[in-house]
Amino acid sequence: MLQQIGKQFWGSQQKSSENNPIKEVVEQRLHRICSLTTEAMKTYSLLFVLVLCPSLLLGQNVVDRYRNFINQHVNQGMSRTRCAEVMRTRRITAENNNCKQTNTFISSTTNAIKAVCGNAGTPYKNSANLRKSLQPFPVINCEQSGTHRPPRCEYRGRSQTVYVVLGCQDGYPVHYDRGEM
């Protein structure tokens, strides 16, 4: 880069580049400016990586956890006869990839459920992250009813109306903890 700048600047003005003190001073200053600029870029790049990237990743983590929560626990049109079908189509399994023993679906809108993490919920048992809904929700509890492995899991559904207790992060539900009568 220095050579290009030098050629552009000195090319038409002077043919001989040897023993030219002005040229040497200019080149030294350009070299110093480029070095400082490079160091500043390294510093700002490091700051970006250390400060901004984790916050972006944290934000993405909340979004991913919220999407997973919706997939596993929200189904506005859920009925107790559809447990096996919904569990299979949404690929809801236990962490070890076996059939999940129990899973609860909240039969409501995502907005109504998300509101539990705000004004439609109250802190639960002094927990920083758990909130209990102020209004009851209809839920379907799906319980495994056989010893099959995915994708052949069988479930029995049971309908209830309960106050839901949710784990919240940054105003989003990310964990279904329990339902209380």
Q: Which residues are catalytic?
A: 73, 175
**Residue type, position 1, single letter:** M
50: tokens are 């250390």
DSSP secondary structure of 73-88? HB-TT--GGGHHHHHH
CA-to-CA dists, residue 39 to 33, 65, 117, angstroms: 10, 38, 45
Angle subtended by helix axes 21-47 and 2-10, to nearest 10: 140
**Residue type, position 92, single letter:** I
CA-to-CA dists, residue 24 to 11, 12, 47, 48, 157, angstroms: 15, 17, 34, 36, 84
Spatial CA neighbour of 142 closest among 109, 104, 91: 104
DSSP state of 31: H
In this structure, are strands 137-144 and 102-106 parallel, antiparallel, or unpaired? antiparallel
